[in-house]
Each structure stands twice: as structure tokens, then as C-alpha cells.
Amino acid sequence: MDFARMREARLPIRDRRPSFFRAAVAGAAVLAAAALAGCSSDSDELPYEERPVEQIYNTAMDHMDEKEYTPAAKEFDEVERQHPYSEWARRSMLMGAYAHYKINEYDEAILSAQRFISLHPSNKDVPYAYYLIGLSYYERISDVGRDQKMTENALNSFYELTRRFPTSEYARDAQLKIDLTLDHLAGKEMEIGRYYLNRHDYIAAINRFREVIERYQTTTHTPEALERLTEAYLALGIKTEAQTAAAILGYNFAGSEWYEASDALLAVQGLEPQENKDSWISRAWNTVF
């Protein structure tokens, strides 16, 4: 979205539409506002005061220029409330979403962006709306010790953007954030896997490390996951799987500390890394690479 261009957009002093059309829209907006007022307890909403669309929109843009995002968001919302059928309501929808995002009102930003996509699916700024939704989830990604719902939502939003608009100006950054998000999710699996491994619950640990190999194989956590699999399988006495994990680790990350650790674990039992082509580890690896 070209915000420089959008910021330059100002309405003329007078609305050029016929007065009867303005009156009809204003009347409809008054009724809608009254209905909303009856079911809303949001004290932050501006009191209804009928104003020309150019006055509201230009006031909102003035606030944006001054980086006063809270009053800007309220004024953009007011454009939609009072003049829902105007071109400026469409612009306000996305500008309002951006303003809400800037003041960390992420749910409001998501709702505005989703509404924009729903009402204007062919608009050239739809890619930005998807990007803003993804950012609004991404900014709330918590550390790996917490629930990862926001991480999953961010990932899905960025996937949708890159799938539908692969050549858009936002796709490259979205792909970067996809990679970071996948790494974050892999980190969560590793944390849980280590917990089970320390408790000698080897099957549960293997299931978590397996997730990393099968779903997050291109992340930075893969070498450790392979080493941990070597460790867990040796503890269970399943030597061929341990050797396979170490062999794949050696083929792909020979210089890493994790390969040295897995090789040392095998050596204690007189074993060497050796790939079993029928192992799930080998099949999972070959599926991606």
C-alpha cells in the first residue's frame, strides 16, 4: 500500500455529490449509529456528530501526518460509520486498520483488514490487507514456552499472501517472516522434546523431534533434532534408527557440534553412523531434499 500516496489524498472542501444523495446516506448512517449505540458500551467511540465526509477524512489524515494514531483510528472509523457507501469509506477501512496496528490494537486492525478484503476482493491493496493481518498476529508471537496460536495464525496469513499474491511487494517480507515463524514453531517442539528426554520419556521425546524433521526440516533446529533422536533411540536400544539419524546428520551437517555429539554417543557402543533407507527418518529427509 502506497501510504505516501494515500497521505497526499485529501478531499475537496465540498462533497460534489448531489445533496439528496448525501442526505440519504447521512440518514442511513444515523440509523445505523443509533442501532450500534444501543448494543455497544465502548466509551472510546466518538459521540455521533454528523459531519461532511471530507472533514472527517482530512482530520484523520492530519492525525496520521502527526503520528497521532489513536485519534486517527477513531476518525477513520467515523468515516465508515457516517459515510459507509463512499469511496473514502473504502480508503478509511484500510487506513484505519493501519492506525489500529500502530497503537497495538491488533484485533481491531485484523477486523478492519478482513472487512476490506471481504468487501473489496479485487482491490489492488488487498495484498497489503493480508500483510497487515499477518503482522497483527506476528507482533503477538510469544516465547516458545507459551501457547503458539498467534504463531499459527501469523503463519497461515503469510502463507495466504504468498500463495495468492506471490509477486506483490509484500510477498518477500512475508516469506522471510514465514521462515522465522517456522523456526519459532520448531523451537517449541524442541523445548517439549527436551523436557521429555530429561524425564526419560523417550517415546514422547521422539515424537516431538520427529515433528521437527517432518514439518520443520528447513529450520535451524534440525541438526539438534537429529542428535536428540540418536540419543533417544540409543536409550531405547533401537540402534538402526540411532545410526540413521546420525548418518543423515553427518551427510548434511558434518561440521556441527551436534554431529560430533551423536558420533560420540554411537562410539561408546561400538557403532558408526549408517543410514537405513527404510527408516522413517530417511524417507522424511528424502521427501524434502
- Least confident span in 25-34, 51-60, 101-110, 193-202: 25-34
pLDDT value of residue 250: 95
**Sign, CA torsion 276/281/285/286:** positive
- Runs of H (alpha helix) within 139-238: 149-164, 171-198, 202-215, 222-236
* Per-residue model confidence as pLDDT tens digits over 29-81: 333 344 434 444 444 565 656 677 778 888 888 888 889 999 999 888 887 77
Q: Note the pTM of the prediction, 2 decimals.
A: 0.74
Contact (CB, 8 A) for 45 and 34: no
Q: What is the CA radius of gyration of the chain?
A: 27
> How confident is residue 168, by pLDDT bands cut at 50, 70 and 90?
very high
* Per-residue model confidence as pLDDT tens digits over 218-243: 999 999 999 999 999 999 999 999 99
